Amino acid sequence: MDLGIKGKVALVTGGSRGLGKHAALSLAGEGVNVAISGRTPETLEKTVAELKGLGVSSIGVAADISDLSSSEELHQKIVDSLGPIDILVNNAGGGRPSNTVADTSFENYLGTFNLNLFGAFKLMQLTVPHMQAQHWGRIISITSIYGREYGGNISYMSAKAALIATTKHAGVTLAKDGVLFNTIAPGSILHEQGGWESFQNDNPPEVVEDFIKNNLPMGKFGWPEPVGDLVAFLASEKANLITGACIVVDGGQSHSLI
């Protein structure tokens, strides 16, 4: 299937490994020129080599998305190298130590929002004007099933819920401009150096088996390729009636009806 996005320019934050890497690879497989950001130069270089191996232009930019002062420099480096950004994938995210209101410091709460919401919002603001001018753009943000229903710690759940709400509002209000916003809510996806790999490594086998039995209807953790391929589809011409949506990729793990 030709997704109609060959030659477009994309930025995938947190794109050097995990879900971000698979999103970048799926886009590159469709002929999209892909910039990736991340915090580890060596990992960026390795993934950029893989992307270039698919026959597209690619660069890696070392950046910490939670440092909002670096957003404009990141954006400008990509524009100068590959051209204006047509597709933005806000993948960078994660949790910080917290649990309840009582034991969560404000600094950790704010830091989680910087990483999962405010960094993404800043990049939306930087990329939307070009998308509006050409009446075409795609912004896809990776959230979590724990942004749709109860789960995880308080700061992560709150930040992901806010990202879904931000995307819904932007998707509705900018639909007339041809700029489509959507979120993807993964469940427990196992990938190298990810949180669920750590969970497996840090717990006895019986604890892991019990979690799978009680939470994962497919009897196993998810895998990243379906998330990457959904990113490419939502970025495509085939998805031009989808905006403001939050699509779950969780093998039936979540309980929400909406």
Predicted confidence (pLDDT) per residue in 41-67, tens digit = 999 999 999 999 999 999 999 999 999
* Model pLDDT, residue 96: 74
Level-2 CATH architecture, domain 9-187+224-244: 3-Layer(aba) Sandwich (3.40)
pLDDT bucket at 99, cuts 50 / 70 / 90:
confident
* Model pLDDT, residue 253: 97
Q: What pLDDT, in 10s, does the model give residues 143-155? A: 999 999 999 899 9
Q: What pLDDT, in 10s, does the model give residues 8-30? A: 999 999 999 999 999 999 999 99
Please identify every residue annotated as catalytic.
156
Q: Where are the domains of the chain?
A: 9-187+224-244, 195-221
Dihedral angle sign, alpha carbons of residues 186, 189, 192, 197: positive
* Model pLDDT, residue 39: 94
Q: What pLDDT, in 10s, does the model give residues 245-254? A: 999 999 999 9
pLDDT bucket at 202, cuts 50 / 70 / 90:
confident
What's the alpha-carbon Rg for the chain, to the nearest Å?
Answer: 18
β-pairing, 58-62 vs 33-38, is parallel
Task: Name the helix (H) or strand (E) containing 249.
Answer: strand 245-249
Mean pLDDT, residues 206-212 taken together: 91
Task: Look over the chain and give the mean of its residue pLDDT values, rounded to a whole number.
Answer: 95
pLDDT for 211 beyond 80: yes
Dihedral angle sign, alpha carbons of residues 106, 93, 141, 66: positive
* Model pLDDT, residue 100: 87
Mean pLDDT, residues 180-189 taken together: 97
pTM of the model: 0.96
The answer to whether 211 touches 164, Cβ cutoff 8 Å, is no
Mean pLDDT, residues 105-133 taken together: 97
Q: Determine the Cα–Cα distance for residues 9 and 137; give it in Å rounded to an integer.
A: 10
pLDDT bucket at 214, cuts 50 / 70 / 90:
very high
Burial class (CB in 10 A: 0-12, 13-18, 19+), 81: middle
